[in-house]
Amino acid sequence: MDRRQFMAGAAAIGMSGIWASRLAAAPSRMAWREDRRLYPQGVASGDPDDHSVVLWTRRPFDAGDRHELTVEVALDPDFRRVVAAARTPVLAAADWTCRALVGGLAPATVYWYRFADDSGAGSRIGRTITAPRASDERPVRFAFVSCNSVNEGAQNAYARMIWEDERAAADRKLGFVLHLGDFIYEVVEYPEETPHRYARTVYDLGHIPDARKVGNFYVPTNLAGYRHVYRAHIDDPDIQDARAYLPFVCMGDNHEFSWQGWQSFIKYGATVEPAQPLRVAANQAWWEYIPSRVRKASGTALEQFSPPVVEKAAIDTFDDDGFGTETNNRIAVGSMTAYRALRYGKHVDLILTDLHSYKAADPTDRPEAAALDSGDYPVIPQEWLEIVDGGRDYAGGKPPAIIAIGDKSIPNYRKDEPAHTVLGREQKAWLKARLTQSTATWKIWGATNGTLDMRTDPQNLPAGLVKDRWPGRDYGTFGGGDMSGAFAERAEIYDLVRDEKIPGFVTVSGDRHSFWAGYAAPALPPAEFAPVGLSFITGSISAPGLGEAAEFFKESALRPLYVRKVEGAPPEHTINLTIKRGVRSALEYAASGDIEAARALTNPDVAPHLEFVDMAGHGYAVVSAGPDTIETEFVCIVRPIARATTPDGGPLRYRVSHHAQMWQPRARPRLEQRIVEGDAKLSI
């Protein structure tokens, strides 16, 4: 790519383009003095390729609508070898955020950058790294993370990540951080009203302007509200340090818009509302605060999002993929297209999908489904979920006319409707094409929310433990809502991998606030178990998960399936055994505390797809992808209730490595597990 092509490309994605000179590195001429108070959200970089990267800062001004900053890029932190310097605008209309796309850089190279205003007052210095060329045979190493809850926790995992990376050998350093969503939580608690949740302190993020109250939470109703929430999250010192230290590649999940939202719908309780202006506002705030190469519909304006004007309007008609055909919905969702792919060397094609913008309404949320309630059981019969997910395509196009669960039955309200989609038509076609055309060793699908089935075997509960008999045929799932509940669509992707003999298929996800490792399989027993790849889910950076919540469950017959409580000892999360080994294993451990006895009662058919699950894990995962092997390491920190007082982010609970050799197409992949440090006995 030459300079002219690069500048045209920068304009096409709405950024100032800066071309670096590789031949004339020279000392800085800028009168720069660091003043972090003027750059309250620091600096960041994102979406690097082998010759360019997006740089970001925010510099608020008290007067005027437009100012300019100078940005410098150097090969050293002292800026004695500056390779690029240019003026770049910063506008009030973009909440004083600034983006610059710097090209002409060398591949796989560390650079330092900084911004300064006309007085010389400067930002902190940032560090970034370009991607290796597609022909580079060296292994690729990156971290993947999700779920920063600044309101309810500390972001100690980022401190640990930086501390370890600074001390790592050159070939063990990270190239980037993949953030798989919930960078913010738009549901904010005010500590004067809700001082604690579980055993956590609720931290003050300020009051959201024009907020709407939903239960104990406040949520944004406009652009100003989302901007406030982004600033409050990025004000966190550990988030800010991480964004300054490594380039981030980000994809939003649900909380970047609305907790239970999809397309331009919001849902609070049982009430679903159209919210097209809110969707546009959420997209704009994400674009302003997350440096990336996402596409925006407003064209080639360099400095701002330029949102479309939409109205809140009823969305009553849907196409065959469940997408609302109402004009304002189409415009709002289309204001930003985030799904994209990035190539890292010879070995990694990183394929990122948006799992909320094009998603159809959850078929299990329909009023008709209420008649199939599972009573005291915390799970849903899997066969019911598969029927309503599959729609008219279920059972090879022969769905039942009646859904019968135990002594309950209802007409199959989905028998004439298409299969549920999370991806949507266009994005799914793009994903399939990328998978089939990729030449990278490892095709890594960043799916934001979990692809691994979350189920157990309530049919094996002791008689009488629950008043009513389990109404399902056999297994029960913990519900839909993510890719693990999109049975038909997930199988469609996995069948493509099998049929096209695509090697090196891996999924990485977040959202569940828990660590998972296992196999990408289109079905589980009693159907044939034939995995086509590997799947990993990272624990949350700080958001609480099901394991923690279970510690506060009231005493009941089913509580031992979630947590073991012994006076004088910390709670132990038997939910890990419930999911990985089955209910008999969990109940045995809850009663005896004997892990070997519990393992001996494993149901081998409940979770052959799982090698590891920790429903109370916080931290991050690190992927190392080479020519013949891939390794994913889980780095689990202690529960991040308060900010660590040491630079290493505090102690670890465990470090576990999962390693696999490349497998032949249609052959079964195999994960080898190693406990590097700590104790994860209920997870393995």
Cα(175)–Cα(93) distance, rounded to whole angstroms?
A: 33
Residues 659-680 pLDDT 10s: 999 999 889 999 999 999 999 9
Torsion sign across C-alpha atoms 243, 246, 247, 250: negative
Please name the residue that has the structure tokens 């919001």: 266
Give the confidence band of 11 by pLDDT, cuts at 50, 70, 90: low
Residues 622-651 pLDDT 10s: 999 999 999 999 999 999 999 999 999 999
Q: Is the pLDDT of residue 178 over 80?
A: yes
Give the confidence band of 341 by pLDDT, cuts at 50, 70, 90: very high
Q: Is the pLDDT of residue 579 over 90?
A: yes
Please give the backbone phi and psi of residue 129, each rounded to the nearest 5 degrees, phi first: -140, 130
Contact by Cβ (8 Å): 662, 440:
no
Closest among 189, 176, 179, 178 to 147, alpha carbons compared: 179
Cα(449)–Cα(434) distance, rounded to whole angstroms?
A: 20
Cα(128)–Cα(179) distance, rounded to whole angstroms?
A: 16
Token pair of 440, please?
């990278």
Cβ atoms within 10 Å of 569's Cβ, excluding its own = 9
Cα(473)–Cα(573) distance, rounded to whole angstroms?
A: 27
Give the confidence band of 407 by pLDDT, cuts at 50, 70, 90: confident
Closest among 86, 116, 119 to 101, alpha carbons compared: 86
Give the confidence band of 345 by pLDDT, cuts at 50, 70, 90: very high
Q: Is the pLDDT of residue 208 over 80?
A: yes
What pLDDT score was predicted for residue 480?
Answer: 72
Cα(458)–Cα(463) distance, rounded to whole angstroms?
A: 11
Cα(152)–Cα(149) distance, rounded to whole angstroms?
A: 6
Cα(312)–Cα(526) distance, rounded to whole angstroms?
A: 46
Residues 373-390 pLDDT 10s: 888 899 999 999 999 999
What pLDDT score was predicted for residue 17?
Answer: 73
What pLDDT score was predicted for residue 229?
Answer: 99
Identity of the amino acid at 432: K
Closest among 78, 44, 73 to 58, alpha carbons compared: 44
Token pair of 479, please?
């519900």
Contact by Cβ (8 Å): 249, 176:
yes
Of the chain, the percentage scoring pLDDT greater than 70 comes to 97
Q: Is the pLDDT of residue 12 over 60?
A: no
Contact by Cβ (8 Å): 594, 527:
no
Q: Is the pLDDT of residue 474 over 60?
A: yes
Helices (H), 261-363: 276-289, 327-333
Mind listing the domains of the chain with CATH numbers?
1-130 (2.60.40.380)
Residues 550-565, mean pLDDT to the nearest whole number = 97
* Mean pLDDT score of the chain: 96
Token pair of 353, please?
């999908």
Contact by Cβ (8 Å): 618, 603:
no
Residues 472-494, mean pLDDT to the nearest whole number = 92
Give the confidence band of 6 by pLDDT, cuts at 50, 70, 90: low
Contact by Cβ (8 Å): 231, 184:
no
Of the chain, the percentage scoring pLDDT greater than 90 comes to 91
Q: Is the pLDDT of residue 16 over 80?
A: no
Please name the residue that has the structure tokens 């500048």: 7
Range in 39-53, 242-256, 358-372 the model is least confident about:
358-372
Cα(349)–Cα(352) distance, rounded to whole angstroms?
A: 10
Residues 214-227, mean pLDDT to the nearest whole number = 98
What pLDDT score was predicted for residue 18?
Answer: 81
What pLDDT score was predicted for residue 555?
Answer: 94
Torsion sign across C-alpha atoms 632, 479, 325, 271: negative
What pLDDT score was predicted for residue 481?
Answer: 76
Please name the residue that has the structure tokens 């599959």: 390
Q: Is the pLDDT of residue 568 over 80?
A: yes
- CA 517 → CA 264, 314, 506, 530, 634, distances in Å? 33, 41, 11, 16, 9
Token pair of 443, please?
């095709």
Identity of the amino acid at 242: A
Q: Is the pLDDT of residue 417 over 60?
A: yes
Cα(209)–Cα(634) distance, rounded to whole angstroms?
A: 38
Cα(219)–Cα(211) distance, rounded to whole angstroms?
A: 5
CB proximity list for 452: less than 8 A, separation 6 or greater: 484, 509, 516, 518, 535, 537, 609, 610
What pLDDT score was predicted for residue 373?
Answer: 82
Give the relative orientation of helices 487-499 and 382-390 as an angle to the nearest 10 degrees: 80
Torsion of CA 34, 36, 41, 46, to 10 degrees: 20
CB proximity list for 115: less than 8 A, separation 6 or greater: 39, 43, 55, 57, 59, 69, 70, 71, 72, 98, 122, 123
Residues 651-661, mean pLDDT to the nearest whole number = 98
Cβ atoms within 10 Å of 53's Cβ, excluding its own = 25
Instruction: Find residue 267's DSSP bridge partners.
Output: 272
Q: Is the pLDDT of residue 443 over 70?
A: yes
Token pair of 194, please?
């809700």
Q: Is the pLDDT of residue 1 over 70?
A: no
What pLDDT score was predicted for residue 3?
Answer: 65
The answer to whether the peptide bond before residue 669 is cis (omega within 30 degrees of 0) is no
Cα(460)–Cα(670) distance, rounded to whole angstroms?
A: 28
What pLDDT score was predicted for residue 25?
Answer: 87
What pLDDT score was predicted for residue 10?
Answer: 62
Please give the backbone phi and psi of residue 142, each rounded to the nearest 5 degrees, phi first: -150, 160
DSSP string for 390-449: HGGGHHHH---SEEEETTEEEE-TTTTSPPP-SS-HHHHHHHHHHHHH--SSEEEEEEEE
Cα(265)–Cα(65) distance, rounded to whole angstroms?
A: 33
Angle of CA points 192, 194, 196, to nearest 5°: 115
Q: Is the pLDDT of residue 24 over 80?
A: no
Write down the pTM of the prediction. 0.97
